[in-house]
Amino acid sequence: MRAFVFPGQGSQKVGMGAELAAASAAAREVFEEVDEALSQPLSGIMRDGPESALTLTENAQPAIMANAIATLRVLEREFGVSLADKGDCVAGHSLGEYTSLCAIGAFSLADTALLLKLRGQAMQAAVPVGQGAMCALLGADLDAAQKLAEAAAEGQVCEVANDNDPTQVVLSGHAAAIERAVAMVKDFGIKRGVPLPVSAPFHCSLMQPAADAMAAALAETPPGSFALPLYANVTAAAVTDPREEQRLLVEQVTGRVRWRESVLAMRAAGVEQFVELGGKVLGPMIGRIDKEAEAISVVTMADLEALAKEIG
């Protein structure tokens, strides 16, 4: 069995998608359609920067999605490899769940871009800049991270935002609580705490205003039927019902990204190969979660050609 997986925030970089756009009309069409949907030259920011504009949450989220869908479209159009035929399920990390839904036909490309633009804006607006923060705990398992979060909270919000792999857990919450957590890592047997360069505290209860905004947006633009099952971030379980997924996308804004558990659940269901489209972030994580799993990260035309030869 094979899963196609899609990266989340942090995988953006200036120049993303430029090689695909130069080589393939299918990729160019994706970038043009997203630009048109957003009434914004997002593809220009992706190609040329500045980096400060690309890393803005409201730009990074649709940009990462557009790059991954462009990679998928090239695979399908140029190499004749259909995700629905060659895949058994999909999953995405945080915003990558929206990319997954676009990939399996539950959202149109334009609607996905608009939803992610709004999601980025709503997440940024939920907490004033400087009041929230996130940190990565390296050499931490979930149990140690939860104990540290509880100790550092001191009446503020300090919660596990991402359970990425057996060696990396991310905390999110009030800036002062995250500072305390970073300072206390050694007391909990954790190797390092690294503050993350993010503009808002994603995936914690402080994001409730953004969850409310997404509930309203998804009521107007609900997901349609799926070509393949999707493993949802907040449950780490397969979903096939669009109404259930609509609810889970709202929960996802404040909820934990259960990536480690999602990969283990897909493995338990029989997935042997994971194909990451549009990034090189999830592949290494999957390797740390299960050394027996095969993980391929596909970004360039050469990567796509190699993948098409293998699975086509």
Which of 11, 43, 94, 100 is labelled catalytic?
94
Q: What's the chain's length in residues? A: 312
Dist CA 283 CA 56 (whole Å): 24
**Which residue is listed with tokens 């969850």?**
211
Cβ–Cβ < 8 Å for 115, 217: yes
Dist CA 165 CA 142 (whole Å): 9
Asked about 174 being catalytic, the answer comes back as no
Dist CA 89 CA 95 (whole Å): 17
Dist CA 86 CA 223 (whole Å): 22
DSSP string, 188-218: GT-SEEEE---SS--SSGGGHHHHHHHHHHH
Which of 24, 100, 203, 262 is labelled catalytic?
203
Indicate if the alpha-carbon torsion angle 213, 211, 281, 191 is positive or negative: positive
Asked about 203 being catalytic, the answer comes back as yes
Amino acid, single-letter form, for residue 216 = A
Pairing state of beta strands 158-165 and 273-277?
Answer: unpaired
Query: Catalytic amino acids?
Result: 94, 203
